[in-house]
Amino acid sequence: MHGEGFFYQAFVYLLAAVVSVPIAKRLGLGSVLGYLLAGIAIGPWGLRLVGEEGADVLHFAEFGVVMMLFLIGLELQPSLLWRLRVPIVGLGGLQVGVTALTLTAVAVALGLPWNAGLAVGLILALSSTAIVLQTLEEKGLLKTDAGQSAFSVLLFQDIAVIPMLAVLPLLAVGETRATASGGTSWIDGLPPVAKTLVVLAAVVAIVVGGRYLTRPAFRFIARARLRELFTAAALLLVIAIALLMSRVGLSPALGTFLAGVVLANSEYRHELEGDIEPFKGLLLGLFFIAVGASVDFGLVASRPAVVAGLVAALLATKFGVLLVLGRAFGMGTDQNLLFSFALAQGGEFAFVLFSFASQHGVLPVSVTGPLVAVVALSMALTPLVMLVHERLVAPRIGRREGEAREPDAITGSSQVIIAGYGRVGSVIGRLLAANGISATVLDHDSDHVELLRRFGQRVFYGDASRHDLLEAAGAGSARVLVIAIDDPDKILQIVETAHRYYPHLQVLARAVSRTHAYELLDAGVELVYRENLDTSLQMGVDVMRAMGVRAYEAGRRSRLFRRHDELGLRELAAMREDRPAYIRRARQQLEELERILTADRLEADEQRDAAWDTRTLREEMAGGAER
């Protein structure tokens, strides 16, 4: 390596990160821009502390992206992926397709042949998974509508890299077409059917292994009670999956993401996250530094107007396409702008794909050289673009995302903890207080917390899904945890944390829908409360009374309906994956309920009259006196 060997290079990279990132954070520029500036400073066009080995470092640091997607997969439940299927396939597919066609048209208009223009359009349609997700997560925007849409698009883009690698060699024409050299891939030289079977076998191996083999393996390793051994096993898992994906011609990032999703319900999820997170952060930082060092400022200096024009054209074209698609998918103006600003740059896979296209004779070096610089500069400009959005655009258009703040210091403890103090949690808290039962209240909306405090409410700001905050709230000695927030994903996270660290707590959870209630039952919550059920039943009771049904009869029928529906909920939860059986059983339950209520209505009047309530008697007597 350049300089005095490995330790010298490690010293340079780490020193650049340690110096530049805190300064960038202090200036409000974000860590990503700090890493990129550090790379520019130590690169061949800065202090020249690193040289030709920068490209090797970049390939090594790409493993940080692989780890990041593994951790993102761990955060996702398969049910969430199913809910995101429309933005992943619809929004992601349209973004790649429309952007690629638009950029292809621009490239052909600039004089490239159609095949080269299509290759350029496909490659530049991709955005930077590493920079976008890191930036959104750092700013606390990953859970917003724009953040979820951006994640969906990036996931589709990572999947799209696979067919791109298959299509690019086909775009070479005549004698320029090159054949892929045999080497490390297991599928080189195999017929198409065999290649497909090998790839499917690899994916099935990851899913089956993650579901049935990793848990006993990690349980065996955990018995050794050596933290470093568990860390080594976690790294081994990620590296093995990445290696397997590479050998079958798939994206390592996609493979590790799939493994993360499979392991999302594992009891070792938190340990895996804790062990891999430091390596992910360090390698991602190294990746950004290497990107900054790889920018060819000599080429930029020789043709500054051309490069600047290409960068501006890339950002403007992708921004325009994203803005139109975001509006078409019903995103609000503020979220649509955030979504469009975030994804307007080129992506890290462009470096790999441009090299691949050049090797297969699709694009000459005279084309890939400037475009690599354009992609690197667009990635380097992304933190600045996001800063412009945050400082200039967001305050003037739509609502502004709440500023992140540290959780409150929680004082005192109670036997009851309430997570969420909105329209549901506040009623519970007031009822308990009126009956002499105190509660410790956590709410993750800082503005709402400040408003409640003005009314004299004792509420603490904090995310109840965090183990340390639940501990500070007294979960170790509390008896009941009431989860009353309205975010279904956050509710499941709180349930998981509570069951893992405080199994003694009796958890009462709010369900925002019937599907969410199924998920809570799967998570082991016995006391699930659908937020609209009681209101709906009470309205049904009042409708029956307005139609002449006596109050006690209407109340009893409501209770009968509720008891039958709760039993049916648990039965249907176990079979909802089998759609035909689910629909068939749901229809049977409706028929059974109709028969039960019909039988109840036909009971003898004498048996009903024994259950008259005093309110109905008073009302009937008053009505008779008036007549």
- Average predicted confidence (pLDDT) for the chain: 77
Quick one: which of 438, 432, 444, 506 has its CA closest to 469? 444
If pLDDT is split at 50, 70 and 90, which confidence band does 62 have? Answer: low
Q: What is the pLDDT of residue 99?
A: 93
Q: What is the pLDDT of residue 517?
A: 82
Pairwise pLDDT comparison (510 vs 73), residue with the higher score: 510
Residue 413 clears pLDDT 50, i.e. is over it: yes
Q: How far is CA 193 from CA 189, 196, 428, in A?
A: 12, 5, 61
Q: Please give the single-letter amino acid code of residue 100.
A: A
Q: Give mean pLDDT, residues 134-159.
A: 81
If pLDDT is split at 50, 70 and 90, which confidence band does 336 have? Answer: confident
If pLDDT is split at 50, 70 and 90, which confidence band does 83 have? Answer: low
CA separation for the pair 478, 470 (Å, rounded)? 10
How much of the chain exceeds pLDDT 70, in percent? 80
Cβ-in-10-Å burial (0-12, 13-18, 19+) of 222 comes to middle
Q: Which CATH architecture has domain 6-171+202-393?
A: Up-down Bundle (1.20)
Q: How far is CA 535 from CA 129, 199, 566, 570, 607, in A?
A: 44, 51, 15, 21, 28
Pairwise pLDDT comparison (37 vs 176), residue with the higher score: 37
Q: Helix %, strand %, coil % for the chain, to 5? A: 70, 5, 25
Q: Give mean pLDDT, residues 153-170.
A: 78
Residue 483: beta bridge partners?
419, 509
Per mean pLDDT, which range of 60-64, 475-479, 612-616 is the poorest?
612-616
Pairwise pLDDT comparison (296 vs 428), residue with the higher score: 428
Ranges of each domain in the chain? 6-171+202-393, 416-620
Q: Between β-strands 480-483 and 416-419, what pairing exists: parallel, antiparallel or unpaired?
A: parallel
Residue 625 clears pLDDT 60, i.e. is over it: no
Neighbours of 341 (CB within 10 A): 24
Q: What is the pLDDT of residue 79?
A: 63
Pairwise pLDDT comparison (182 vs 226), residue with the higher score: 226
Residue 477 clears pLDDT 80, i.e. is over it: yes
Residue for token pair 């079958």: 248
If pLDDT is split at 50, 70 and 90, which confidence band does 130 have? Answer: confident
Neighbours of 306 (CB within 10 A): 13
Give first-to-last CA distance, the chain, whole Å: 103
Residue 380 clears pLDDT 60, i.e. is over it: yes
**116's tokens:** 């080269």
Q: What is the pLDDT of residue 288?
A: 75
Tens digits of residue pLDDT in 424-437: 877 888 788 777 78
Q: What is the pLDDT of residue 590?
A: 77
Residue 448 clears pLDDT 70, i.e. is over it: no
Residue range 416-620 forms a domain whose CATH class is alpha beta
DSSP string for 276-308: HHHHHHHHHHHHHHHHHHH--HHHHHHSHHHHH
Radius of gyration of the chain from its Cα atoms, rounded to whole angstroms: 30
Q: pTM higher than 0.85 for the full model?
A: no
Give the strands of the sheet with 506-511, arranged side by side.
459-461, 440-443, 416-419, 480-483, 506-511, 527-530
Quick one: which of 510, 576, 570, 522 has its CA closest to 265? 522
Which segments of 315-384 are extended strands (E)?
none
Task: State the alpha helices, DSSP H only, in 547-603.
Answer: 551-573, 579-601
What element of type H or E holds 530? strand 527-530
Backbone phi and psi for residue 345, each to the nearest 5 degrees, phi listed first:
-90, 175
CA 406 from centre of chain: 22
Tens digits of residue pLDDT in 351-365: 767 877 877 788 888
Q: Please give the single-letter amino acid code of residue 257.
A: F
Q: Give mean pLDDT, residues 477-483.
A: 87
Residue 393 clears pLDDT 90, i.e. is over it: no
**119's tokens:** 């290759």
CA separation for the pair 390, 398 (Å, rounded)? 12
Q: Give mean pLDDT, residues 513-535.
A: 81
Q: What is the pLDDT of residue 126?
A: 92
CA separation for the pair 595, 560 (Å, rounded)? 12
Tens digits of residue pLDDT in 14-48: 888 888 888 877 776 667 777 878 888 888 777 87
Phi-psi region of 189 (alpha: psi -120 to 50; beta: other; left: phi over 0): left
Residue 459: beta bridge partners?
441
Residue 270 clears pLDDT 80, i.e. is over it: no
Residue 442: beta bridge partners?
419, 460
Q: What is the pLDDT of residue 440?
A: 81
